[in-house]
Amino acid sequence: MLGRMRVVREQDALLVVDVQHDFLPGGALAVPGGDEVVEPIARLMPHLETVVATQDWHPPGHVSFASSHPRAKPFEFIVLPQGHQELWPDHCVRGSRGAALHPALPDEAITLRLRKGTRPGVDSYSAFRENPDASGRRLSTGLAAWLQARGVRRVFLCGLARDFCVKWSALDAAAAGLEAVLLDDLTRAVDPRSHPAVDAELARAGVAISRSAALT
C-alpha cells in the first residue's frame, strides 16, 4: 500500500468504473458488497477536477450474454474467433435501468461518461481498450488520449468489479503511460478470492494499490 498522496486537481483524474444498477445488489450481475462503495465514491468525486464514469452499454443479443448462445449458461466459457469468452447473464442493456449509473453519484461532478461494450460482437472490460476482436486487435476507446490532452498524469481507479473491469482499466492505464492507483476500499470483486492473483498482476504492470483515506 502507498502512503499518503496529495491530490493535484489539474493532473489527477478519478475513474469510476461501472457503478451501475445491474452490478449492485438486486441487479442482473450483482457484485457482492457492490453497494458499499457507492456513497464513498460519491463523496470523493467532487474533490477531483476530472472524473470519468464508465458504463457497460450493451446492445440486445451482445456476444457476452449466455442467452445469445444456444444451450449456453451464464459463467461458462465458449470459444469464439477472438478467443475464449466468459458468458454472463444479460446485463447493462443500453437504455435500461440496469445500465444506469447509481443516482447517488453526483452528475455535476462527472466530466465524461464513457460507454463501452457497445459493439455486438466484442466485449469490453477496460475503459481504455476493447477486448480483442476476431483479428486480435484491441481497439482504443480514446480515453488515454483524452486524459493526456487534459494534462492528466495520474488516474485513481474505483468501482466494479475489481477482478474484471477495474483491473483491466488499471492495467491499460499503466500501459498508456499514466500513473495508475487502485483505491482498494472503493472496489469490490465478483470473486473475493481473486485478490492475491489480481494484486500480483497489477504489481507486475506497475499499478499501485492504496486507499481513499490516503488522499489529501
Give the residue numbers annotated as catalytic, written as ranges: 18, 116, 165
Beta-ladder partners of 28: none
Q: Report how far residue 157's alpha carbon sits from residue 173's, in angstroms, rounded to the nearest whole number.
A: 10
Identify the CA nearest to 87 among candidates 75, 105, 71, 104: 75
- Helix 165-175 and helix 195-205, axial crossing angle in degrees, nearest 10: 10
Identify the CA nearest to 114 among candidates 62, 165, 187: 165
Identify the CA nearest to 184 among candidates 2, 30, 9: 2
Type of residue at 68: S
Which grid coordinates are listed for 13? Answer: 483524474
Cβ-based burial of 139 (10 A; exposed 0-12, middle 13-18, buried ≥19): middle
Q: Where are the beta strands (DSSP E) in 45-141?
A: 50-56, 77-80, 83-86, 112-116
Cβ-based burial of 77 (10 A; exposed 0-12, middle 13-18, buried ≥19): exposed
